[in-house]
């Protein structure tokens, strides 16, 4: 992310940082062209969030290496994040923040809609991080149209309506 000067459209440069005092952090940026300054003040929650992401605020003494951010991200990535073997039992890595880690099996919820074996197998082929949302969408689609059993043809019909 970069801050741009509205007057001269030049990228702002980091001028100074202060804090965190009582959890708040102050960061000042300055335009190298016209000298315009802008400050950003974070509250304690925002400061904690930035720290948890590993963001370092401040200038660099050496220029960035090619693809430095990409390499650092890939080096620290969990290899199981989207493979269904993570600590959250294969559900979305953000499921806990969004309200739970419900099971992704079609029989796990009592929605009044059942899944036949071929449709359930097809559901299992959807990547684990998106499977719960896909399941809910297909079940909602089926209920709205009065289907009591989800078959592969219902999935195909839903995909057409969803534009997939």
Tell me the domain boundaries of the chain.
7-56, 95-162
Q: Which of 8-22, 38-52, 56-70, 146-160 has the lowest mean pLDDT?
A: 56-70
pTM over 0.75: no
Q: Using the 8-state DSSP alphabet, how is residue 63 labeled? A: P
Topology of 95-162 in CATH? Helicase, Ruva Protein; domain 3 (1.10.8)
Number of CB atoms found within 10 A of residue 154's CB: 20
pLDDT tens digit sequence for 34-44? 888 888 777 77
Looking at every residue in the chain, the average pLDDT score rounds to 74
As a whole number of angstroms, the distance between CA 95 and CA 113 comes to: 23
Alpha-carbon dihedral of residues 97, 136, 126, 103, nearest 10 degrees?
Answer: 60
pLDDT reported for residue 108: 42
| CA distance between the termini of the chain | 32
For range 112-120, the mean pLDDT: 91
- The secondary structure element, H or E, covering residue 114 is strand 114-115
pLDDT tens digit sequence for 63-79? 777 777 667 666 665 55
């Amino acid at each position: 992310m970069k801050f741009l000067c509205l007057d001269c459209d030049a990228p702002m440069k980091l001028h100074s940082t202060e804090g965190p005092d009582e959890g708040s952090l102050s960061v000042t940026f300055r335009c190298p062209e016209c000298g315009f300054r802008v400050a950003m003040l974070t509250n304690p929650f925002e400061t904690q969030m930035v720290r948890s992401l590993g963001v370092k605020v401040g200038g660099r003494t050496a220029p960035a290496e090619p693809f430095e951010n990409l390499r650092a991200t890939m080096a620290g990535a969990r290899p199981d994040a989207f493979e269904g073997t993570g600590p959250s039992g294969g559900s979305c890595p953000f499921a806990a923040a969004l309200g739970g880690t419900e099971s992704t099996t079609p029989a796990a919820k009592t929605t009044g809609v059942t899944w036949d074996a071929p449709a359930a197998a097809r559901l299992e082929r959807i990547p684990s991080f998106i499977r719960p949302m896909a399941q809910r969408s297909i079940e909602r689609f089926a209920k709205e149209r009065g289907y009591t059993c989800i078959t592969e043809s219902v999935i195909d019909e839903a995909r057409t309506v969803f534009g997939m």
